[in-house]
């Protein structure tokens, strides 16, 4: 492993693991591997907080707007920043962007649109978005506040493979004996929060079946509900406690599960995560 530039995610993301990321990274970096894969990257809440990299890193999301944003930040980050620099933090601008069809835009225009909407959307929701307002911080979108981080992201992505595949397909392509797969799928019961056609509840069964024949090692983080415990009952599990906050509201304690096909991957997690 080699040291890498640590970044923050380029935009807010529902379920972005901000409170658990550093401690999950500790577990990931304690596992020997030479290929790292995230089938559900989102805004990279865990990936960008890694302190070390391996020779092959793959980030994937079935949401094409996510994959396109990362491609454009790697190839044309200055253009994206300049295009977004003078956008207003206004409800009218937000609704204008929401109404636009990404399929009729250039890739750079799509990246600017997605970056803007994610910053302005309440709770970082990528689907069913509403304009978010916080009286204590003013506008949620300011290029000046994020451009240094965007430059770090460009450098971090310089040798990373960016995919836009279904999670089964991307696992099939990159699975191997020294692969480490970190999975952060939608919460059980919140599958539609990321788009109706991207992930359905029945796919948790498909995920468990594919992980049961994984050649590498995986760590999965998910909300702790009875259905998840049943679906993934063949694997090692550890219950952890964290706090969950939306848009500056009061934090509440919630239970999550860390699941793995290796009990050794979870050793020490109880002390560091609770």
Q: Are residues 189 and 236 in the same domain?
A: yes
3-state SS, one letter per residue, for 70-109: HHHHHHHHHHHHHHHCCCCCCHHHHHHHHHCCHHHCCHHH
d(CA 126, CA 100): 15
Question: Would you say residue 174 has pLDDT above 80?
Answer: yes
Mean pLDDT lowest among 55-59, 72-76, 191-195: 191-195
| Mean pLDDT of the 91-107 span | 96
d(CA 73, CA 9): 12
Contacts (Cβ under 8 Å, ≥6 apart) of 211: 183, 218, 220, 232, 235, 261
β-partners of residue 253 are 243
User: Which of 94, 122, 156 corresponds to the end of one domain?
Assistant: 156
Cβ(1)–Cβ(53) under 8 Å? yes
Q: Are residues 51 and 179 in the same domain?
A: yes
Contacts (Cβ under 8 Å, ≥6 apart) of 38: 44, 46, 47, 58, 59, 60, 181, 182, 183, 184
Q: Are residues 170 and 262 in the same domain?
A: yes
The count of structural domains within the chain is 2
Cβ(30)–Cβ(252) under 8 Å? no
**Residue whose token pair is 């949620």:** 140
pLDDT of the residue at 143: 86
d(CA 263, CA 235): 8
pLDDT of the residue at 107: 98
Cβ(42)–Cβ(66) under 8 Å? yes
| Domain containing residue 193: CATH number | 3.40.50.150
Cβ(95)–Cβ(132) under 8 Å? no
What are the helix (H) ranges across 91-239?
91-99, 107-120, 143-156, 167-174, 203-211, 226-231
Cβ(60)–Cβ(168) under 8 Å? no
Q: What is the pLDDT of residues 241-260, one digit of tens each?
A: 876 665 555 667 788 999 99
Residue 121: strand, helix, or coil? strand
Q: Are residues 87 and 6 in the same domain?
A: no
For the chain, the residue count is: 274
Place 141 in a pLDDT band, splitting at 50, 70 and 90: confident
71: tokens are 């491609």
Q: Are residues 146 and 172 in the same domain?
A: no
| Domain containing residue 133: CATH number | 1.10.1020.10
Q: Are residues 151 and 103 in the same domain?
A: yes
Percent of the chain at pLDDT exceeding 70: 93
Q: Are residues 49 and 175 in the same domain?
A: yes
Q: Are residues 20 and 90 in the same domain?
A: no
User: Which of 130, 156, 182 corresponds to the end of one domain?
Assistant: 156
Q: What is the average pLDDT score of the chain?
A: 91
Q: Are residues 80 and 136 in the same domain?
A: yes
Question: Would you say residue 271 has pLDDT above 80?
Answer: no
pLDDT of the residue at 249: 56
User: Which of 156, 180, 205 corresponds to the end of one domain?
Assistant: 156
Q: Are residues 125 and 93 in the same domain?
A: yes
Q: What is the pLDDT of residues 189-244, one digit of tens each?
A: 998 888 878 999 999 999 999 999 999 999 999 999 999 999 999 999 999 887 66
Mean pLDDT lowest among 26-40, 59-73, 108-122, 236-250: 236-250
Q: How far is CA 244 from CA 122, 223, 236, 261, in A?
A: 15, 11, 24, 26
Task: Write down the pTM of the prediction.
Answer: 0.92
Q: Are residues 174 and 58 in the same domain?
A: yes
> What is the domain range of residue 196?
2-63+162-273
Q: Are residues 7 and 99 in the same domain?
A: no
DSSP 131: B
pLDDT of the residue at 273: 43
């Amino acid at each position: 492993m080699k040291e890498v530039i640590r970044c923050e995610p380029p935009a807010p993301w529902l379920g972005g693991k901000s409170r658990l990321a550093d401690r999950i990274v500790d577990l990931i970096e304690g596992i020997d591997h030479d290929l790292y894969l995230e089938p559900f990257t989102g805004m990279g809440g865990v990936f960008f907080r890694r302190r070390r990299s391996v020779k092959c890193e793959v980030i994937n999301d079935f949401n094409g707007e996510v994959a396109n944003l990362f491609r454009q930040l790697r190839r044309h980050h200055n253009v994206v920043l300049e295009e977004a620099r003078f956008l207003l933090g206004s409800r009218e601008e937000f609704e204008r962007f929401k109404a636009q069809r990404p399929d009729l835009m250039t890739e750079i225009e799509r990246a600017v649109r997605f970056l803007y909407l994610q910053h302005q959307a309440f709770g970082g929701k990528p689907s069913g978005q509403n304009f978010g307002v916080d009286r204590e911080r003013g506008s949620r979108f300011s290029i000046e506040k994020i451009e240094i981080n965007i430059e770090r992201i460009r450098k971090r992505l310089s040798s990373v493979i960016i995919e836009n595949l279904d999670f089964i397909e991307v696992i099939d392509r990159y699975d191997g004996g020294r692969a480490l797969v970190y999975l952060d799928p939608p919460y059980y019961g919140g599958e539609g929060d990321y788009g109706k056609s991207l992930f359905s509840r029945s796919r948790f069964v498909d995920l468990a079946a594919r992980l049961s024949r994984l050649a590498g090692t995986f760590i999965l983080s998910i909300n702790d509900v009875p259905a998840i415990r049943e679906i993934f009952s063949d694997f090692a599990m550890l219950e952890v406690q964290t706090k969950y906050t939306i848009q500056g509201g009061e934090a509440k304690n919630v239970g999550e599960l860390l699941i793995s096909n290796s009990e050794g991957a979870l050793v020490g997690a109880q002390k560091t995560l609770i």
